[in-house]
Chain A
Amino acid sequence: MSGGFEIINPVAQVPANNEGEGVSRGRVNSTEGLRVGLLDNGMPHAGDFLNHIGHAFEERYKTSLLMRRKSYTARSAGGELLDEIAENCDAAITGFGV
């Protein structure tokens, strides 16, 4: 076979109109006095990292912190946990990994 030929693309097409509406992002306008949620996903040292960055925010911007950890690394955080952070925080940091 030479001179060129066609092959089927093996990649699944992602519909342009994937179900549902896109998420509208909020914005932090001021960091002073911000309430920051820290969600540890359970990976090694994730809690240490979040503590470090949380304390840096405390020192620099006088933020308050709410630290929580998922029950299991490879599972999504439960709705109650997310609700708690949403109700008590203005912004959040999660990690590590996905």
Chain B
Amino acid sequence: MEKRGIPTIAVVGKGFEKAARSFGRAYKLPELRLLLVDDTVAHQGGDELLQLAVGGVDQVVEEWGKGAGDTNGSASQEEWGETLIVEGGYLDANQLLLEMELTDGLPVIPPTPELVEQFVAASGRSGSEVIARLMPLMGNITVDRIAANAVMAGCTPNVMPILVTAIQAMGAEEYRVNHVVTTAHTLFPLIVVNGPIAGEIGMSDGRDLSAEGWRPNATIARAMRLLMYNCMSEPGLHSTTCQGHIGKVADAITENVAHSPWEPFHVEMGFRESDSVVTVMTVEPLQMVDDHSAVSAQGILANFGSQMATSGNRPVFGPAQHMLIFGPSHANKAAQGGFDKDMIRRFIYEVYRIPVNAYPPESRERWSDWKKMLYGTNTMENATIPVVEDINDILIVVHGGAGPNSFFAPGINTHKSVTKKIE
């Protein structure tokens, strides 16, 4: 609006001030006009909301009255410098990085120039190469910055090609990284690595999705989270999520190809089996699909379907992708029952649907245009809605060890996963 010459003030919850100002700088408006309000009151409504609004009038007028004096572009952060000097040893380095709000709170390995150089060399690229500039910070995400965060996360150098490719993938418009970094919604990038590199670096393809004991699985996702802190958002803006979740720092997986009845995910996406490929997908915390009484293909798929077909989560309000992470046992039972991936998608799309009348009326007002067109709020009360708007938005991978367990990874409206070959 300001670009159109209209003085505009954004009403922002205090917890989102840093994110808002970061967006302002990214959009060349460093002196963004903000009316900061108490987050809790803002989202509770009632008389307190009225008081909050009326009480904000004077500040709105004051902010609108500020004019052209502040017209510079995005602020420089040159003062941060290329290196930091630590007085003392490793523990002091950890304390410094913690106080600068550059870590996730757990101990890190200090990114010394020697270690960073090793990681840069493993990438096969120049340390100064800019891989991406991502919203809202729009800083130069260079290879050496990726390396520094990888060192801090406890990675080994051989994961650098995966991290570089994941950063490139997150730069795709459909990934919508700005939302992932700044939302109150608990979202994070689930990273799926396919192809030879997964085995070469020792990723777990089974046993423990959440990375216990598997260094690549544990550290790749942690490095991505540190990169989101330090290279995609304002330093210190660790997260704006309402609750957060451990999956935000620990979900990087590869497929259990050896025990999968289906072709690997990346082959399904059009890549060669010999290609090494990274998929980044924005997900909510994963949900267990685990009913030991279901032993038939239909019974197992029914559990997936019923887990997905609920009205109480935002992904079902508009177009969203979802990922089904089949444990090998569930995958093979489904395949023995005659189900390939397309049939699974069809089964869930046709059979497990959400009744229109499961949605409160005010929720229906927030449906996508597609849902409003097909399932208008005043007609077709007996209609049911599929769990995805496009049947191909049900993505299927196989991961895990022994046990009758699987995961449903809910995606989020308007985001698309991005799959990219490691070059």
Chain A interface residues toward B at CB < 8 A? 1-18, 20-29, 31, 37, 39, 42-46, 48-50, 52-53, 56-57, 60, 71-72, 74-75, 82-83, 85-86, 89-98
Task: Give every chain A residue within 8 A of B80 (Cβ-Cβ).
Answer: 9, 11, 13
B14-49: contact bitstring with A at CB < 8 Å (1 yes, 0 no)?
Answer: 001001100101111111010101000011110001
Task: Give every chain A residue within 8 A of B26 (Cβ-Cβ).
Answer: 18
Q: Do A53 and B56 have beta carbons less than 8 Å apart?
A: yes
Task: Give every chain B residue within 8 A of A53 (Cβ-Cβ).
Answer: 11, 53-54, 56-57, 60
Given A52-B49, A52-B54, A98-B182: A7 in contact with B111 (beta carbons within 8 A)? yes
Q: Which of B2, B97, B140, B318 contacts A13 (CB 8 A)?
A: B140
- A15: nearest chain-B partner, CB-CB: B140
Q: Do A7 and B86 have beta carbons less than 8 Å apart?
A: yes
Is B105 an interface residue, CB under 8 A from the partner? no
- A38: nearest chain-B partner, CB-CB: B11
Q: Do B4 and A16 have beta carbons less than 8 Å apart?
A: no
CA distance A93 to B12 in the complex (A): 11
Task: Give every chain B residue within 8 A of A57 (Cβ-Cβ).
Answer: 57, 60
Give the distance to chain B from A49, nearest Cβ to Cβ, in Å: 5
What 4 A-B pairs come out closest when comparing CB atoms? A95-B11, A12-B139, A27-B67, A52-B53
Is B373 an interface residue, CB under 8 A from the partner? no
Task: Give every chain A residue within 8 A of B45 (Cβ-Cβ).
Answer: 44-45, 48
Give the distance to chain B from A6, nearest Cβ to Cβ, in Å: 5
Q: Do B64 and A28 have beta carbons less than 8 Å apart?
A: yes
Give the distance to chain A from B238, nearest Cβ to Cβ, in Å: 13
Give the distance to chain A from B60, nearest Cβ to Cβ, in Å: 6
Knowing that A22-B30, A56-B54 touch, tell me 5 more A-B residue pairs with CB under 8 angstroms: A6-B86, A7-B83, A25-B67, A39-B1, A91-B6
Task: Give every chain B residue within 8 A of A98 (Cβ-Cβ).
Answer: 10, 12, 16, 19-20, 23, 182
A-B residue pair count with CB separations less than 8 angstroms: 258
**Sampled A-B contacts (15; CB under 8 Å):** A8-B84, A9-B82, A10-B111, A10-B226, A10-B230, A13-B139, A15-B139, A17-B73, A18-B25, A25-B33, A37-B8, A74-B176, A83-B4, A86-B1, A98-B10
Q: Do A8 and B144 have beta carbons less than 8 Å apart?
A: yes
Give the distance to chain A from B8, nearest Cβ to Cβ, in Å: 4
Q: Do B83 and A9 have beta carbons less than 8 Å apart?
A: yes
Task: Give every chain A residue within 8 A of B25 (Cβ-Cβ).
Answer: 14, 18
Select the residue from A28, A72, A97 with max chain B CB neighbours within 10 A: A97
Given A71-B369, A86-B1, A91-B6: A18 in contact with B88 (beta carbons within 8 A)? no
CA distance A27 to B31 in the complex (A): 13
Is B112 an interface residue, CB under 8 A from the partner? yes
CA distance A56 to B315 in the complex (A): 36
Task: Give every chain B residue within 8 A of A15 (Cβ-Cβ).
Answer: 74, 76, 139-140
Q: Mark out the residues of chain B between 393 and 418 whose CB falls within 8 Å of any chain A CB in the assembled complex.
A: 412-414
Q: Do A1 and B89 have beta carbons less than 8 Å apart?
A: yes
Q: Do B56 and A10 have beta carbons less than 8 Å apart?
A: no
Q: Do B148 and A9 have beta carbons less than 8 Å apart?
A: yes
CA distance A47 to B68 in the complex (A): 30
Q: Do B11 and A94 have beta carbons less than 8 Å apart?
A: yes
Select the residue from A1, A7, A12, A90 with max chain B CB neighbours within 10 A: A12
Given A20-B73, A72-B318, A97-B184: A45 in contact with B6 (beta carbons within 8 A)? no
Q: Do B7 and A25 have beta carbons less than 8 Å apart?
A: yes
Given A5-B112, A11-B102, A25-B71: A92 in contact with B7 (beta carbons within 8 A)? yes
Is B391 an interface residue, CB under 8 A from the partner? no
Task: Give every chain A residue within 8 A of B230 (Cβ-Cβ).
Answer: 10-12
CA distance A23 to B7 in the complex (A): 11
CA distance A18 to B73 in the complex (A): 7
Task: Give every chain A residue within 8 A of B369 (Cβ-Cβ).
Answer: 71
- A2: nearest chain-B partner, CB-CB: B89
Q: Do B1 and A18 have beta carbons less than 8 Å apart?
A: no
